[in-house]
Amino acid sequence: MTTDNIVSQALAEVKQVLDAAVPTQVDAMVPRIRKAGRIAVYGVGREGLMMKSLGMRLFHLGLDVHVVGDMTTPPLSTGDLLIVSAGPGQFSTVMGLMGVAHDAGAQTMCITAEPDGAAARLADQVIHIPAQTMARDQTGATSILPMGSLFEAAQFLFFEFLILRLCDVMGRSPAEMRANHTNLE
């Protein structure tokens, strides 16, 4: 298979996932994010990197957002939101953090490829991104991309589309977002 064919197939796969997820799932996230006091984001591995990218963009929008594990992450409580990624359906840390958030009165949102998974069943809101993850890469793999790369690539673009929607709903301009970008680079 040529590089051109690989690129074409991978892009077609990502487009198919986004076509299935974006129209309904992006708008489903907006009200809960806008209503939240504090927002904390969490994921493991490469999903964790995508969650950090979401956290950064939510911060650029001017929201009170934190990445779980950073030493400056405050406690969550009633009115707050924990957004987690559990592509394959569950991770022990995700499940534990969701329990802590619920005990503190916070709401939880789970982004997953497995809407019937354990993490989704525990969440107050489930966002379904129908893409191959590592949970299915050895049995029934359909993506040319390795392991969970299709889910992670779709997450990145999905989150950018979410940010565009939030910009529109919140009336934020690119200049306002840029003003929140760090100058310590």
Model confidence over 122-157: pLDDT tens digits?
Answer: 999 999 999 988 766 656 667 878 888 899 999 999
Residue 66 has pLDDT above 70, yes or no: yes
**6-14 mean pLDDT:** 92
- What pLDDT is stored for residue 141 in this prediction? 65
**145-172 mean pLDDT:** 94
Question: pLDDT (tens digit, 9 = 90+) per residue, 83-121?
Answer: 999 999 999 999 999 999 999 999 999 999 999 999 999
Whole-number mean pLDDT of the chain? 94
**DSSP secondary structure string for all residues of 90-137:** --HHHHHHHHHHHHTT-EEEEEES-TTSHHHHH-SEEEE-----GGGS
Strand partners, 67: 41
Give, in degrees to the nearest 5, the angle at Cα 103 between 98 and 106: 65
- What pLDDT is stored for residue 185 in this prediction? 87
Task: Tell me the whole-structure pTM to 2 decimals.
Answer: 0.94
Q: Which of 114, 152, 160, 176 is catalytic?
A: 152
Report the share of the chain in percent with pLDDT over 70.
Answer: 96
**49-58 mean pLDDT:** 98
Q: Examine the residue annotation and report whether 152 is marked as an active-site residue of this protein.
A: yes
Amino acid at 107: Q
- Residue 98 near residue 82 (C-beta atoms within 8 A): yes
Only one residue has tokens 């809407």, namely 115
Token code pair at residue 165? 């929607």
Question: Greater confidence, 5 or 43?
Answer: 43
Length of the chain equals 185
Does the CA dihedral 113-115-120-124 come out positive or negative?
A: positive
- What pLDDT is stored for residue 72 in this prediction? 96
